[in-house]
Structure 1
Amino acid sequence: MSTGTLSLTLRDSSTMLRRNLRHATRNPSTLLGSVVMPCVLMLLFVFAFGGTMGNGLGGAVQGVDYVDYLAPGIFMLALTVGATGTSIAVAVDMTRGVINRFRTMDIARSSVLTGHVIGSVVQSMVSMVLVIGIALAVGFRPSAGVVGWLAAFGLMALVSFALTWMAVGFGLLAKTVDSASNLPMILQILPFLSSTFVPAESMAPGLRWFSEHEPFTPITDTLRNLLLDRPVGSDWIVGVAWCLGIALVGYLWSRRLYRRDPRHT
């Protein structure tokens, strides 16, 4: 890619990013939705089930209060909920003729998807600040320093980036906007089967094996250890590898669907 082409692609991607962020400010329900459900679950598990679950696991989980154990997993869940909004936004563009109008313009084709992805990551980070604030209000007490917080936000941004590319693929695959809201449900289910609510070693054998080998357990454990200022071990390597793999698969899948979609011909 020449310097001129790269410059034009960056310019067009920036334009699409501003478009998507402007849409987000006009439709705050998407951002609100990515905050409400995770916070409701956090309140439910902290105040309704937290005592019982904590006592069942010895009064604390892995040596910390249950709310401190739970919160990082809820943050991961919030990122998966946010990805659904991206899937819907892409499906809207695909089904309402917006893409056809873009094709008549002299813009880089890749900028359309890039704008959706970067815009979604920005929105996800904003929602994470809100969710973290609510977690602090209900008793979450992280002990991470500045470096730990920076690493934690970097990890959450990477997770959001990976999930967003998968969500873009679901949005391109969907035939209707309604189906685009249902297809990403698999992303929301995985955190429930990870170490979000209880350690994997406390689960039944079959579920324990799945939890130990699915992506959200090492990612959540890494985030938890970063925020609680504990050794992360090798979990971060596995977690980052999962993120990069998911992002690559999502990108290649989305690009293929985008190029093959009959609505682009």
Structure 2
Amino acid sequence: MQETLNVDPAELAKFSELAHRWWDMESEFKPLHQINPLRLGWIESLAPLAGRKVVDVGCGGGILSDAMARRGAEVLGVDLADRSLKVARLHALEAGTAGVQYRRVSAEDLAAEQPAAFDVVTCMEMLEHVPDPASVVRACATMVKPGGWVFFSTINRNAKAFLTAIVGAEYLLRMLPRGTHEYARLIQPSELAAFGRAAGLDLQASRGLHYNPLNRRYSLTSDTSVNYMIATRRAGGEQGA
């Protein structure tokens, strides 16, 4: 079977170059480490992870995958960046994390191979980096079991998000490398919800992630104008809440 590559080579190269810094808490990935307890807690509040079969699409160095495995889930982290996957595997080995595996495969190819195979699908901070985000959403919908949960996170596309997530985070506060995000690739919540509906996913909830530059902390909020997460479910079955 021919490999499906819904990926921008420049984006892949960008994250591969930084791969060795994934688990450095003071590196460019510090924001992901800071928000991880918040997004993990929100996911668990809707879909308890213990005993669940989970796939983390665009797992990178495994920050969320590792955390979900530690909550008792059976996790498969998938990505197309070989160097990031090597870092994720090494961290799991060093940390002794059970219940997590990593694999180089696209969301589309995994969906074709394992339809309706997972209780929970997560796809966080990834959609704004691929050429065809709707294709990834469809793949996530295909992979989840009827009644299962699919979680996405990305960045809104508006003037506030441009000033906050790009100008502020990349140029002023230097929290992220310049060029991490392209404004044209950011996705409005209404667009992401539409991708989900077209794929058979029903929107259940949404939350915003707010950064306070004064205390340098993140918090969950109802404001989805910049960073946000959505929770969706595939119709056709009832899994435990």
Under a length normalisation based on structure 1, what TM-score does the superposition of the two structures give?
A: 0.28
Higher relative contact order (CA 8 A, sep 6+): 1
> Which structure carries more helix by proportion?
1
Under a length normalisation based on structure 2, what TM-score does the superposition of the two structures give?
A: 0.30
Higher CA-based Rg: 1
